[in-house]
Amino acid sequence: MDTNSTKRISERVIGCAYTVGNELGPGFLERVYEKALCVEMIRNGLEVERQKQLNVTYKGEVVGKYFADILVENCLLLEVKAVARLSPEHKAQVINYLKATDLTVSLLINFGTPRTEIKRIVWRHDDSKVI
């Protein structure tokens, strides 16, 4: 997958997020938005895995695991929130997820505000590589 393909995936996901946010509005629990976003992305032809278990490794050893809210096309991590305001801790959480995996790009999506908020978070991303 080339950089343009990945950019198109991100753009498609962002479009799906805005559709969900516009349809549902703020006020629901995160898991409602997570499920709705998966429905919207699948309807738009994207491969998604919800609550995908990812291993955290240290020097080649698995030292823990976490569950990504949504993994899209095996290359884009989505963290879904439904809060009044994103905090530095939310961004740090996503950066830690990226550090712990081979993934380099994530979208932090907040449905808790009147207008859906989306932050692109990058960790050691190389545009010449897949993502």
* 105, β-bridge pairs: 122
Cβ-based neighbour number of residue 36 at 10 Å: 20
> Can you count the helices (H) and strands (E) in the chain?
3, 5
114 DSSP 8-state letter? S
pTM reported for the whole predicted model = 0.86
Which pLDDT tens digit goes with each residue over 41-60?
A: 999 999 999 998 888 888 88
Ranges of each domain in the chain: 3-122
- Below-70 pLDDT ranges, the chain: 1-7, 125-131
- Per-residue model confidence (pLDDT) at position 10: 93
CATH number at 3-122: 3.40.1350
Rounded CA separation 48/89 (Å): 25
